[in-house]
Structure 1
Amino acid sequence: MLWASLVWSAALLLTAPAARAQTPVDLALVLAVDSSASVDESEFALQRDGLAQAFRDPEVIKAIESGPYKRIAVAVVEWAGHAEQIVDIPWTVVDGAAGSLTLADRIDGLQRQILTGATSIAGALTFAHSLLLSHPFEADRLVIDLSGDGRNNQGPPVETVRQGIVLQGVTINGLAIVNEHPTLNYYFEDRVIGGTAAFVEVANDYADYPRAIRRKLIREIRTMNISAPRRPDSGAPRPSDATELATLAAEPRRW
């Protein structure tokens, strides 16, 4: 296992681009949406609509505008089996309200492209990381935001993939949809997430996804100023960040 992790890490180092374009963004974020066989059409629609709704939310927009550059970069992908991933929306700059609303409209228009398949979280993370390796920005943080309703059942061990990706300074966050697997959030915590300030958000079912993804986006965008991997650790969060995180923690959650 250790040898496999080292080989994986070496491969990632060799494929990292030598330079980035000079457009600075506060965050480069890959949103990976579950499109496996366990997700029916109505459940996929709830994910799509929840994402669009989140980018129209005033608090999400406020979070984007609170960063030093007041813009983030977002890519949206679908994932299922180990070789079944596709980019729905390529890298897009979200620069405040106008950019966020434009992205929401694009998400609204998405049609599902992967109709069935296994659940390869390992494959999804590998694909998302390949997008981060080629993003055309200068980003303070690199984050994979993976939503799913099941455990990895195809491809290499998730832990091995996670370790290689996290070593590259990437944070992996998870949104566990626990309608079929009530303890999926613990699996995500143990085997999927990793990196600076990584966390798991829980959606009790697909109807709860819009609430969960809104909360998750606010948290991971707001956290960017206190957990950037390229900067020295500045200690405790600033009061504004601590207040925001405390507010989010106080929101009701149904486990």
Structure 2
Amino acid sequence: MLEILSLLACFACAEAASLPAPDGGTQVDVELVLAVDISQSMDEDEFALQRAGYVEALRHPDFINAVRSGRNGRIALAYFEWAGVVRDDGVIAWQIIDGEASANAFADRIEARPFRSFRGTSISGALGFGAGLLERSGFSAPRRVIDISGDGPNNIGLPVAEIRDATVAKGIVINGLPILIRPSPSVSRLDRYYADCVTGGAGSFVLPIYAASEFSTAIRRKLVQEVSGLTDAKSIRVEDAAPVDCLLGERLRRRFSDPYFPELDR
């Protein structure tokens, strides 16, 4: 399992080789990676809502106060967009957030990004890439977190549960933001899928979004909890239900394969 993660981390390092690395050893309260789904199953309205949610959350006083209230008063933040793969131009490199100016600057960089999408949903690839960024961050923190959003199950790359387990074994926490505004009838329990197959680690949680009006508040709440290290188990726990098939997406892809792009279905 750890060998799988090492390979993915190497891939992530190669993909991000051109990114500037911070000076080693800087103490921060948490290293946080935002992994944002831009697969073609997301329409432009969902893209806009998701983008605005992250931008508003980073600028909100609640987030900035959570950052300042930590022992060091600063966090390290990185961002990337993913679908079937992670592309070089979809990554915003590590930046220290220590107050309003740095938080607004990071939000400005996200806001300025063009809207785009491409094929495939490789949650496993995104987790591997995020783990690679954390392994080479150059910072020192008591907590390392990948915050991953998405509106569908893994359907490309290695099995997501294997990569989740290997990532968690490295001491990395994975939190999930499943987007169920327009749920697919073939994947009716995406929140349960994220709980069973994607998230993991001490204090990890799933925060589903069921309506467009929830985006901004949900993302802000999630970021504040990740920065502070606190969780509200009652309000973010997915309702108890039978476990889901962690290979659901792969089985659906084989069932509804694209003859022109058999490895890059949504």
Please give the TM-score of this superposition, normalised by the length of structure 1: 0.79
Give the C-alpha shift of residue 110 in structure 1: 1.6
| Change in 2 beyond 3 A, CA 1:111/1:88 | farther
Q: Which residue of 178, 187, 194 corresponds with 2:193?
A: 187
Partner residue in 1 for 2:225? 219
1:147–1:175 Cα contact (<8 Å) kept: yes
- Structure 2: gaps (5+ residues): 14-22, 239-266
| Change in 2 beyond 3 A, CA 1:133/1:30 | same
| Change in 2 beyond 3 A, CA 1:97/1:11 | same
Residue 201 of structure 1 aligns to a residue in which SS? coil
Q: Could you give the per-residue CA deviations for residues 40-87 of structure 1, whole angstroms, max 9, x where no partner exists?
A: 222212111110100111111111111111101111100000465754
Residue 208 of structure 2 aligns to a residue in which SS? strand
Q: Which residue of 137, 140, 144 corresponds with 1:138?
A: 140
| Change in 2 beyond 3 A, CA 1:95/1:76 | same
Q: Which residue of 38, 43, 53 corresponds with 2:41?
A: 38
2:80–2:86 Cα contact (<8 Å) kept: no
Q: Could you give the per-residue CA deviations for residues 81-139 of structure 1, whole angstroms, max 9, x where no partner exists?
A: 04657543110110122221222222221223x52211111111111111111112112
CA RMSD of aligned residues (A): 2.6
Equivalents in 2 of 1:124, 1:6: separation in Å?
16
After superposition, residues 144-155 of structure 1 pair within 5 angstroms as 144-155=146-157
Equivalents in 2 of 1:192, 1:85: separation in Å?
23
After superposition, residues 1-255 of structure 1 pair within 5 angstroms as 5-8=1-4, 21-82=24-85, 86-112=89-115, 114-179=116-181, 180-181=183-184, 182-223=188-229, 245=231
1:79–1:124 Cα contact (<8 Å) kept: yes
2:147–2:176 Cα contact (<8 Å) kept: yes
The number of residue pairs the alignment matches comes to: 224
Partner residue in 1 for 2:249? none
| Change in 2 beyond 3 A, CA 1:184/1:14 | closer
Which amino acid counterpart does residue 81 of structure 2 have in structure 1? E
2:85–2:125 Cα contact (<8 Å) kept: yes
Equivalents in 1 of 2:24, 2:104: separation in Å?
25
Residue 200 of structure 1 aligns to a residue in which SS? coil
Equivalents in 2 of 1:50, 1:41: separation in Å?
14
Which amino acid counterpart does residue 98 of structure 2 have in structure 1? D
Residue 195 of structure 1 aligns to a residue in which SS? coil
Q: Could you give the per-residue CA deviations for residues 158-197 of structure 1, whole angstroms, max 9, x where no partner exists?
A: 0110111111110000001112154211100000001111
